[in-house]
């Protein structure tokens, strides 16, 4: 089980370092189907791993790759809704949660193929800078939705934050990645705090998973700076759709098998 966690940690960390999200999309199914943890234990474990790996992955981008104000607004908006998502999580069947997870992944993956408007989103000013009048309402709404899903599904929210920052708010991918990583750290802390009360964590598995994820995220974060925005977005979208298909099949089996 530890060996599997080490290998899967490399994949999760690489995703976070390259595209600023998607780690939990792999981490939750990997912990359930690869390591064999029950979903209620996989969710907080995933949040520890993804939060730690994201904190490491953002290090190469601290100086010029993060919109700090936007990251704090989006992240803070989701703190309260993460607790609400956790409450709903405890009322739903595991198969229903996994199917919801798959549906949201498909939507996010398809949206990543949609080209960004030439004029940018509501956060972009023609001469550079941020238009907070147009950006703030969407940023708060994005944070609230992502926070809820963090609590509900045990994800840091990167697979939704990345499309939201690029498509809805108009940030370039070079800034989106670092900004997303900071938001994921905030969401992961909020989500873990909401979940940890009634769950026993396997710290050996968590430590192994987190250690390789952090190492891989740091290396991938440095490599990502030389890759094009389009390549990163499309590669991310394809992976999301592939994993969504697998999770959907497993969810249907759990519900009707």
Tell me what pLDDT residue 207 has.
92
Cβ neighbours, 10 Å, residue 3: 8
Output the average pLDDT for the chain. 80
Higher pLDDT, 127 or 14: 14
Q: Which residue has the tokens 């730690």?
A: 52
Tell me what pLDDT residue 92 has.
84
Report the share of the chain in percent with pLDDT over 70: 86
Higher pLDDT, 249 or 229: 249
Q: State pTM to two decimals.
A: 0.76
Q: Read off the pLDDT of residues 167-200 as tens digits, 9 standing for 90 and up.
A: 777 777 778 888 888 988 888 888 888 777 767 8
Q: What are phi and psi of 130, to 5 degrees?
A: -120, 130
> What 8-state DSSP symbol labels residue 90?
T
Q: Read off the pLDDT of residues 208-234 as tens digits, 9 standing for 90 and up.
A: 999 998 998 888 877 776 777 777 778
Q: Span 230-245, mean pLDDT?
A: 80
Tell me what pLDDT residue 130 has.
63
pLDDT above 60 (res 38): yes
Q: Span 12-32, mean pLDDT?
A: 77
Helix axes 173-195, 79-89, angle to 10 degrees: 50
- List the domain boundaries for the chain: 2-256
Q: How many residues does the chain have?
A: 257
pLDDT above 70 (res 84): yes
pLDDT above 50 (res 60): yes
Q: Read off the pLDDT of residues 105-143 as tens digits, 9 standing for 90 and up.
A: 788 778 777 665 544 566 654 455 666 776 788 889 888
Q: What are phi and psi of 37, to 5 degrees?
A: -80, 145
Helix axes 94-111, 132-153, angle to 10 degrees: 150
Tell me what pLDDT residue 119 has.
46
Q: What are phi and psi of 124, to 5 degrees?
A: -100, 130
Tell me what pLDDT residue 215 has.
92
Q: Which residue has the tokens 């759990």?
A: 254
């Amino acid at each position: 089980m530890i060996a599997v966690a080490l290998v899967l940690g490399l994949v999760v960390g690489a995703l976070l370092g390259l595209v600023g999200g998607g780690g939990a999309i792999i981490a939750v199914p990997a912990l359930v189907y690869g390591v064999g943890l029950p979903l209620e234990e996989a969710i907080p474990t995933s949040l520890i791993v993804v939060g730690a790996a994201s904190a490491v992955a953002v290090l190469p981008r601290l100086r010029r790759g993060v919109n700090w104000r936007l990251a704090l607004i989006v992240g803070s908006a989701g703190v309260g809704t993460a607790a609400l998502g956790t409450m709903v999580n405890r009322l739903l069947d595991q198969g229903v949660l996994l199917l919801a997870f798959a549906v949201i992944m498909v939507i996010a993956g398809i949206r990543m193929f949609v080209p960004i408007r030439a004029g940018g989103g509501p956060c972009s000013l023609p001469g550079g800078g941020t238009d907070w009048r147009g950006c703030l309402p969407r940023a708060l709404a994005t944070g609230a939705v992502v926070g809820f899903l963090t609590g509900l599904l045990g994800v840091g929210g990167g697979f939704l934050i990345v499309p939201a920052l690029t498509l809805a708010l108009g940030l370039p991918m070079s800034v989106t990645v670092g900004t997303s990583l900071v938001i994921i750290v905030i969401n992961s802390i909020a989500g873990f705090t909401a979940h940890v009360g009634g769950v026993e964590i396997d710290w050996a598995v968590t430590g192994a998973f987190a250690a390789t994820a952090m190492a891989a995220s740091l290396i991938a974060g440095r490599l990502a700076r030389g890759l094009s925005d389009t390549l990163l977005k499309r590669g991310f979208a394809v992976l999301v759709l592939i994993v969504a298909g697998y999770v959907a099949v497993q969810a249907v089996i759990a519900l009707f098998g």
